Amino acid sequence: QQYFEIGQTDGLLTVHPIDRDAEQNELYSFSIVAYKCHNKLLNTSSEGAIILEDKNDNLPEIAMHPVELEFWENTIMELEFDQFTINDRDLGEHARYEVRLAETVNGIQQPTTSFTIIPESGYQLVSFTINIINAAMLDYELLERQTFLLHVTAQEPIEPTHQNTQTITIRLRNWNDEVPKFGQEYYQTSVLETVGAGMLLATVAITDRDIDDSIKLTVLGRLSESLAVVPLPVDSDPSSSGDPRYQFELKTKRADIFDYDIAQEVIVQLQGEDTLRTAKNEPIHQIFSQLTITVLDVNNKPPQITLPRGTMHILENSVAESEVIIGEEEVAKIIGTDPDTEAELVFSIDWSSSYGTKSGVRAKPE
């Protein structure tokens, strides 16, 4: 009776407007009864039905909450929505739609390669999820990516003008996801073994893309107490896209820390460590390199003389270049040594302080 009316005398059937989409019904049955005016018991009836054909008069509607999201950069995850559904109240092909994603970064709209939507099509009412499949571009260190827009568009393939778009504001959160790098795989230098305190051995550079991060450089091993690490002002790495560069000078704290005669080459282990810690509770990154120091020899050590044991003797009036004997027949040898590699030893007799004895008494010089 809500939608159907019939003329009592002419039998004209009138159907009032029906919103099939609101009713969610396409088949309506009814009964027609004809009876005698003076006696309703004398009647006859007939059954009828109307099937409504769908009219494509609805767009796919996107219901989403929230429409602003904040999450960690460079992280594979599913975006968290309290509600995300799409509904097209039409019927049949009119209720089918396809879903796609796009993003606006730095004012430019483009297809997204970082996100995917599941499923990619729907019929009437469907729930959807958005997942991150390529987190590399979701980089907080790219300033234009710190805040950007993600667009969800639902469109009917049968009627492309029937479409709706919901925009999501994305804000990335920074965390320590970048591993620092030494400027060189290893460092080399050379110094004199007599180098003093405050001598610059090398300048070490480390880059780290993370914003709000910093770097500590530590000398490991036995030279850790003998070398000073002096940080320099942070600047930008000219060989990259302007990543922060942390430079350190390695200097000697004191003199006499190298000895060519002990080690001609000294290996210094270097440890770089970043410091950024966030609520994500990520681990600190540690990287390692080495400084190879070639020690140059300096003639800085006096020679030593080793005399033979026992009493040396020679016959009087011996001819020139006669051998001095020790004991019975052993030739006496005086040995001179010098640890310096470039040393050239010259032997001589200091006649001014030399003298002879006879019968234990110092002899008079002739």
pLDDT in tens, 298-325: 877 778 888 888 788 888 888 988 888 8
Residue 91 pLDDT exceeds 80: yes
pLDDT in tens, 6-47: 887 788 888 888 887 777 778 888 888 888 887 888 888 888
Burial per residue of 74-110, b for 16 or more beta-carbon CB atoms within 10 angstroms, e otherwise: beeeebebeebebbbbbbeebbbbbbbbbbebeeeee
H/E element, 266: strand 265-274
Whether omega before 119 lies within 30 degrees of 0, making that bond cis, reads: yes
Calculate ∠ Cα 317-319-325, nearest 5°: 80
- Least confident range of 93-97, 185-189, 257-261: 257-261
User: Which uninterrupted H or E stretch holds 62?
Assistant: strand 61-65
pLDDT above 90 (res 48):
no
User: What is the rounded radius of gyration, in angstroms, for the C-alpha atoms of the chain?
Assistant: 48
pLDDT tens-digit map of 55-69: 888 999 999 999 999
Confidence of residue 110 (pLDDT cuts 50, 70, 90): very high
> Hunting for tokens 């729907």 — which residue is that?
122
Mapping DSSP to helix (H, G, I), strand (E, B) and coil, where does residue 93 land?
helix
- Domains of the chain plus CATH, in order, are 4-51 (no CATH), 61-173 (2.60.40.60), 181-296 (2.60.40.60), 300-365 (no CATH)
Tally of CB atoms within 10 A around 266:
18
pLDDT of residue 366: 65
Chain mean pLDDT for the chain = 91
pLDDT, position 32 = 84
